[in-house]
Structure 1
Amino acid sequence: MNNLTLTLAATFAALSLAPAFAADTAPARFDPAQTFAPYSYPQPANAYRSASGKPGPMYWQNRADYRIKATLDPATRLLSGSEVISYTNHSPDALDVLWLQLDQNRYRKDARGAFTSTFPTEFTDGYRISSVEVEDAHGRTQPVKWIVSDTRMQVQLPTALKAQDGQLKLHIAWSFTVPGEFGGRMDVNPSKNGEIFEIAQWYPRMAVYDDLRGWDTAPYLNSEFYLEYGDFDYAITVPWDMIVAGSGELLNPQDVLTRTEQQRLEQARRSDKTVMIRSADEVTQPSSRPKQSGTLTWHFAMHDTRDVAFGASKAFVWDAARINLPAGKSALAMSVYPAESGGDAAWGRATEYLKASTEYFSKQWYPYPWPVAINEAGTAGGMEYPGITFDHKLAKGRSLHMVIAHEIGHIWFPMIVGSNERRDAWMDEGFNTFIDVYEADAFNHGEYAPKRDGEYAPGKGNPADEIAKVLQDQDAPPLLLGADMVPEKYRHPISYFKGAFGLVLLREQIIGPERFDPAFRRYIATWAYKHPSPSDFFRFMESETGEDLGWFWRGWFDHNWQLDLAVQKAAYTDGDYRKGVDVTVANLDQLVMPATLQLVYDDDSKQDVRVPVETWQQHRSYVVHVDGTRKLKSVTIDPVRALPDGNRGNNSFAMP
C-alpha cells in the first residue's frame, strides 16, 4: 500500500462524512447517472468466457505446431523455406477453409497497408508461394487450391476439418527477398564486419480461429500480431561464417560452434557475470567458426510459443550470463551485436540489462518460461518476438536499458498472455509499459529510475499532468479502438502511456498494491498461453480485487473523459475550529477518482483524509467533515499530484 493510503489508515478514525448541506454547484458536465451507469462489457460472458474473467468450462483454443527448414543467401538476400504446420481444430465448428498470415506481402507496392501509412519507403515482391499441400490424418498428401488476398492466404480444404480435435498437416514452400533497412519489424543493416539480418514474420503463419470472431483475418497494415500457440522445430542454413541467434534453444551446438565456444556457453550457464562467447577480436578470425567453407545448419526448438524469430551475421560479438528464476530454475541471457556497438557505456552491458529485467519480471509477475532470452543489435530498434528482441545498435546507457527492459517485457504481454495486438494494442504496449515502470525503480538501486517521468509521455513532466494533456486533446482516440485506427501521432500517448497509466492508477490509487498485485499475477497465470479479450481482463480484475470498476472502464477505456476535482470551500464547524472543519469538495468533469484530501494546520502538521469514489455516485459536490482541534491553514485535494487532474488551479483552498 502506498504512503498516502497508510496515512489514511492512521487518520480514518478522525473522519466522518456528513450529508451534503451545500447545494450541488458543479456544472452539469458531470452526470453521476452516466458515469456510474451499469457497464456494458465489449464481449459477452458465456460458457467459453465466464463472468469472473476466467476461461469458461467450454473454453477452447486451436493449436499450430511448426517444422520449418529455411536457407538464407546473404548475397541475394533471398530467404527460402518449407514448412509443415500440424494444425489441430479444438473448436466446435468444422472448418472448410484455413487462413494464414503472409506478413511479407505488406512490403508490396499494392499492399493495403501501403495506403494507410508512409511505411515502407522501399518495396519487395512479398512472398513467392511455390506449393501448398494438405496431409490428412492418414498421411495422404494432395495439392490444394489457395487464394492470396493482400497479407492473407485462404487454403480451400478438399474435406472439412472436423470439429473438436480434427487434425491435418499443411505443407507450404515459399521464398521472399529480405527487406532492407526499413519496416521497423525486421531488416538487413550494415556493420563494419558484415551485414546484420534481423528476420521475423518470415514464414506463413496460421491465423487465429477463436470464439469471438471465428477466423480473425484482420490484414497486416502496421499493427502487430495475433497468433496460435504450439511447438516449433526449425533449422536455418547460412554460410559457414555467420552466427545465428534464434528463439528457443540451440539443439546442435556441436555442429555450429567451436569447442571453445561450447565451453564458454556452458560457463555462462553457471555465471551471474557476463561471459564472452565470441569476442570482438575473434569476429574477424576464421578459427571462430567450426569450418571455413560451405554452409552450416543451425537447429532450434521452442515449446509453447506463438512465434519464432532469428538474427544472423558474421559480425556478431556474442556474450551470455545466467538468469536466476523462481523455484531454483535458470535460463540463459544472451546478446549479439557488432563490435562497434560494444563497450561498458553501450552493448557491453546489454546482457546485464536483459538478465536483470528478466529476473525482476519473473519474480514480480510470472516466471520466464523458455531456456534462452536474446538481445540482437540492429536497426529494427525496439521490436519483440518470443525469446528474442531486436534493439538498436546505437543505443547506450539509459536508452539501451529502457529498450531492452521494454522489449523483453513483451514476453509477458503478449507472448505469454496472448492478447490480440492487432485489435487491442493497449493490452500489449500499455501492460508492458506498466511493468517497465517498476522494473526501472528496481534495476541497480534505481540507476535509471524513474521511468514514470516520461519515455512514453509527450513531455518530461509529472506523468499525471502529462496524461491530463492527452485527455484534453479532442482528437485523441479512446483506448478501446482497433490498433490500426489509431493515428501515429497518438500511438504512444494512447496505447503505451495512457494504457500504462491506467494500470498505475488502478494499482496505486484505486485498488492498492496489496490487492492489485496478487490479482494481476493470477490474471497472467490464468491466461498464460491463451487469448484474453478486454472484457476478460475487466471482469477478472473486478472479481479478484472485489471492486466494481465499471465507472473506470467507461471513463478511461471507452472514453477520454477528463478529471477536475476541486476544493470549493473550507469553514470551521459552527464557526469553532475546536469542533473541526467542513470542506466542500466537488467533481466538475466526467471522470471520477478516489482522492486524498490533505489538511495543513497552523503548526504545519498534516492530516490526510481519503475521499472514496462512491462519494460521487449521487453528488456533484459534497461536504467532508474532519474532526480537529487546531486552526487550519489550507486544504488540498490530490496534494502529490498523482491523479490526472486537468485543472489544478482549484485544488486548494487557503483559510482567510
Structure 2
Amino acid sequence: MKFKFLLTPTLFLLILGIAAHAQRRGGSRANTNDTIKSNYVPKELFAPLHYTDKGNEFHSANGDPGPKYWKQRVDYVLKATIDTTAKKLTGVENITYTNNSPDALSYLWVQMDQNTYREDARSNFSTGGGGGGQHTKGYELESVELSIAGKVQKASYIVTDTRMQIRLPKDLAPNGGKINILIKYHYTIPANGNRTGYFKTKDGTTYEIAQWFPRMCVYDDTSGWDTLPFLGTGEFYCEYGDIDYTVTLPSNFVVAGSGELVNPTEVLTPKQIARLAQARNSDKTVMIRTAAEAGDHSSHQSAKPMLTWHFKMFNTRDAAFGASNAYIWDAARINLPGGKKSLAMSVYPVESAWERSTEYLKGSIEYFSQKWYVYPYPVAINEAGHAGGMEYPGILFDGLTSKGEGLFSLIAHEIGHNWFPMIVGSDERRFAFMDEGFNTFIDIYASDVFNKGEYAPKRDGEYAPNKGNPADEIIPTIVDPNAPTIMTAADAVAGQYRHPVEYFKPAFGLVLLREQILGKDRFDYAFRNYIHKWAYKHPQPDDFFRSMESGAGEDLSWFWKAWFYNNYKLDLAIIDAQYVDKDPKKGLLVTIANKEKMPMPFWVEVILKDGGKYRTQLPVETWIQTKAITFTIPTTSEAESVRVDPDAALPDINRANNIFKVK
C-alpha cells in the first residue's frame, strides 16, 4: 500500500511509522467474503493464458514486429481531371504492387470505394449507410490492364460491390515480385457525399475529393486478403507506398492536396509563391490568398483555361485533395523536434470563421510531435467543407461552420488521425478503437496544453468538448446490457453506441491506464515505444496489448478482459470503518468490497476531525484472491469519514457506497 499525505497537522510525526504500522488483513474477518453480496469472481480476471496465440516470428511476444515481419508495398502514379460542368472525375492509374509476403499470389484484390454510392451498394442496406447524398454509378471502368515484365495485357477481373478481384495469368512471385496494374476510369462526383462531394458557397464551388482512385486491399499475415466491403462506418485499411498524382481543372481553382506541391511556378502567382516563402519562416499565420482575391476569380492565374497541379507524397497509405475557386488560403510554420519544419495551411470560404484554424493545426501537430512521434509530412492542410470532420494523410476535411473551441477540438482530433491510423497503420474496419479511441485519447492532452489550456479540459466527445466527469459519463454505456464491447467490428456497432464504444470508452480506458494504473511515466514510455515500433506497419490488437505490458512491466490481462473484451462494471463499496479496539490511537480498521466484476487499484482517503486528511493507494492485486479486504490505516486521532476513490476518477457505478461516516 502506498500512503500519500495531503493536510496532516496531527499526523505529521507518523510519516516514518506508516509503513511499519499499515496492515493488510485480507482474511482478518473470516466471514467478510462469505457475507458480502458480490458478482466479482477473481479467477475470471486473473486467469493465465489471456492470449490465444503465442508470439511468433512475425509478431513477437513482447508486442514488437517479429524478425520476419513483412508488409506489402503499393506505389501509385495518378492523373485526375475534373469536369466542373458535368461534375465528373476522370482518372488514369498506374499501380506498382510489390509482393513482399512469403506467399505466391494468384489473384489481387482492389478497393472500389466509390461503388458505395451505387443504388445497389451493400452500404445502402446496412445501418451504417455508407453512401449518403445522391446515388451514382460508382466507378465506371474504361480499361483494366496488367503490365508484366514490360508486356501489357488485358486483365481478367470481377467487381463485387466495393471490391475488385484481378485474376492473374501467372502467380505473382513471393519475396519481392512486382506487377503493374493500369486502370482507366471515371465517376460522377456525388453531391454532398458524407466523405467526398461538392457544394457551393458565396464565391464559388468546392470539391472535396477522397477515395477517388482504386486502392489495393491489404494482404497481411493475420487475415490474408482483407476484403471487408466498405459500408461507411468501418473506415479504411491501406498499404504504404509513394503516391505521385496530378489534378487538372479550371485555372481559377486552387488545389490543396496531400503531400507537397512540386510545380508551384506553374500553378501559383508570384505573389502567392512569395507569401508561401514568408509563411515557411513565420510562427504567425500569413495570408496566401485573401478574401478579396478569393472573390475575384480572374485574379488567380493565367489565361490558360486549365491548369495541372502536381503533388507527391512519400510513405503514405492514401491521398486526398480539396479544390475550389472560393478558397481563402493561409499558412504558418510548424516547428518539429530536432530542428525539423513543416507547413500548416488552411483553405476555406469567406463564410467560415477560420481565422485561427492554422494556429490550431500548428499547435496540435507541434504537441503530438513532441509527445509521441514526429509529424512526417512536409505539409498539413485543414480544408473547410461539408464532410464535417474527416481525415486523410496530410489533409483534413472539417466543417466549414465550426469555430472557436469546437473548431480547435475538431482540428486536434482530425489531425491526430495522422498518428492513428496514418502512421500506425491499424485496421479501422475491424478495430475502430485502434483508430478513433487512440486518437481521442491523445487529443485529450492536446487540449490541456494548447495555449496554456485555453480549451481545457477535454475529457469526452468526438469533437465537442465536455466539462463533465468522464468516469461518470461512461457509466450509462457500461451498464447498458445492449451495448457492444470495444472489440466489436466497426460496422456492427449501432449508431447510438458508435461514439461511446469506439471513441470514448477506449480513450478513457487509456486515461485510466495512464493516470490510475501505470502512472504517466510508465504509460508514456510504453505507448511511445508502441508507436515507434509499429510506425508504417500493421499492428493487431494483441500487438498493442503485449507492447503495453512489456513496455510498462505490468500484467494487464485483467484490464483488457474487463474493459476491452467485456463491459464489466465496477462498484467499490466501504462496508465498515471502526477503530481498532475502539481506540483512535490504534488505527482505523476499514473493510472495502468489490461488488461487481471489474477490479481496479484505488485510493482511500481519511478525513480527520481536526481537519487533517491523508490517502493510501491499494494495488489491483488487492482483488487477486478476494472480493473484500480489511486493512488498518494508522491514525492517532478521531476520523470524520473514509472515502474510496475520493477524486471520482474511476467508473464506479454506485458512488453512494463510496463514503462511510466513522462513528
TM range (shorter): over 0.9
Mapped to 2, the partners of 1:477 and 1:4 lie a distance apart of: 38
Letter in 1 for 2:48: P
Mapped to 1, the partners of 2:205 and 2:509 lie a distance apart of: 41
Correspondence for 2:136: 124
Correspondence for 2:275: 264
Correspondence for 1:108: 118
1:59 alignment partner, SS class: coil
Correspondence for 2:582: 575
Mapped to 1, the partners of 2:7 and 2:346 lie a distance apart of: 45
1:416 to 423, 430, 450: 423
* Residue 55, structure 1, aligned to residue 65, structure 2: yes
1:276 to 280, 283, 287: 287
Q: Kindly tell me: are residues 471 and 61 of structure 1, through their superposed partners in 2, closer, same or farther at Cα, counting changes over 3 Å?
A: same
Mapped to 2, the partners of 1:188 and 1:292 lie a distance apart of: 25
1:282 alignment partner, SS class: helix
Q: Kindly tell me: are residues 73 and 562 of structure 1, through their superposed partners in 2, closer, same or farther at Cα, counting changes over 3 Å?
A: same
1:251 to 251, 254, 262: 262
Deviates most, 41-50 or 574-583: 41-50
Q: Tell me by how many angstroms 1:624 deviates.
A: 1.6
Correspondence for 1:134: 146
Correspondence for 2:222: 212
Q: Tell me by how many angstroms 1:3 deviates.
A: 12
1:190 alignment partner, SS class: strand
Aligned residues: 648
Where structure 2 has 5 or more consecutive residues not aligned to the other structure, the ranges are 9-14
Mapped to 1, the partners of 2:100 and 2:341 lie a distance apart of: 33
Letter in 2 for 1:521: R
Correspondence for 2:213: 203
Correspondence for 2:373: 366
Q: Kindly tell me: are residues 304 and 172 of structure 1, through their superposed partners in 2, closer, same or farther at Cα, counting changes over 3 Å?
A: same
- Contact 1:43 / 1:533 at 8 angstroms: preserved in 2? no
Mapped to 2, the partners of 1:477 and 1:3 lie a distance apart of: 38
* Residue 230, structure 1, aligned to residue 241, structure 2: yes
Deviations along 1:459-509, one digit per CA (max 9) or x if unpaired, are 863110111121011111000111111111100011000010000000000
Letter in 2 for 1:130: E
Report sequence identity in percent: 55
Mapped to 1, the partners of 2:460 and 2:383 lie a distance apart of: 27
Where structure 1 has 5 or more consecutive residues not aligned to the other structure, the ranges are none
Mapped to 2, the partners of 1:461 and 1:512 lie a distance apart of: 22
Mapped to 2, the partners of 1:126 and 1:644 lie a distance apart of: 46
1:598 alignment partner, SS class: strand
Deviates most, 110-119 or 529-538: 110-119
Correspondence for 1:613: 620
Structure 2 length as normaliser, TM-score? 0.95
* Residue 73, structure 1, aligned to residue 80, structure 2: no
- Contact 1:188 / 1:195 at 8 angstroms: preserved in 2? yes
Structure 1 length as normaliser, TM-score? 0.96
Q: Tell me by how many angstroms 1:121 deviates.
A: 4.7
2:48 to 27, 34, 38: 38
Mapped to 2, the partners of 1:609 and 1:250 lie a distance apart of: 58
Q: Tell me by how many angstroms 1:74 deviates.
A: 1.2
Q: Kindly tell me: are residues 490 and 5 of structure 1, through their superposed partners in 2, closer, same or farther at Cα, counting changes over 3 Å?
A: farther
Q: Tell me by how many angstroms 1:606 deviates.
A: 1.0
Q: Kindly tell me: are residues 7 and 314 of structure 1, through their superposed partners in 2, closer, same or farther at Cα, counting changes over 3 Å?
A: farther
Correspondence for 2:12: none
1:349 to 353, 356, 367: 356
2:474 alignment partner, SS class: helix
* Residue 82, structure 1, aligned to residue 89, structure 2: no
Deviations along 1:268-288, one digit per CA (max 9) or x if unpaired, are 000000000000001133453
Q: Kindly tell me: are residues 5 and 601 of structure 1, through their superposed partners in 2, closer, same or farther at Cα, counting changes over 3 Å?
A: closer
Correspondence for 1:96: 106
1:571 alignment partner, SS class: strand
1:60 alignment partner, SS class: coil
Mapped to 2, the partners of 1:531 and 1:3 lie a distance apart of: 42
Correspondence for 1:153: 164
2:387 alignment partner, SS class: coil
1:97 alignment partner, SS class: strand
1:451 alignment partner, SS class: coil
2:427 alignment partner, SS class: coil
Mapped to 1, the partners of 2:596 and 2:465 lie a distance apart of: 23
Deviations along 1:263-305, one digit per CA (max 9) or x if unpaired, are 0001000000000000000113345323134100000000010
Q: Kindly tell me: are residues 107 and 453 of structure 1, through their superposed partners in 2, closer, same or farther at Cα, counting changes over 3 Å?
A: closer
Correspondence for 1:316: 327
1:188 to 195, 198, 201: 198
- Contact 1:39 / 1:554 at 8 angstroms: preserved in 2? no
Deviates most, 362-371 or 453-462: 453-462
Correspondence for 1:175: 186
Mapped to 2, the partners of 1:165 and 1:641 lie a distance apart of: 55
Mapped to 2, the partners of 1:458 and 1:473 lie a distance apart of: 24
Mapped to 2, the partners of 1:98 and 1:243 lie a distance apart of: 36
Mapped to 1, the partners of 2:144 and 2:549 lie a distance apart of: 47
- Contact 2:297 / 2:325 at 8 angstroms: preserved in 1? no
Deviations along 1:28-59, one digit per CA (max 9) or x if unpaired, are 41111112112433665211101000001111
- Contact 1:459 / 1:466 at 8 angstroms: preserved in 2? no
Correspondence for 1:239: 250
2:159 alignment partner, SS class: strand
Mapped to 1, the partners of 2:648 and 2:99 lie a distance apart of: 51
Q: Tell me by how many angstroms 1:444 deviates.
A: 0.8
Letter in 1 for 2:657: N
Correspondence for 2:637: 630
Correspondence for 2:11: none
Mapped to 2, the partners of 1:212 and 1:457 lie a distance apart of: 36
Q: Tell me by how many angstroms 1:6 deviates.
A: 9.6
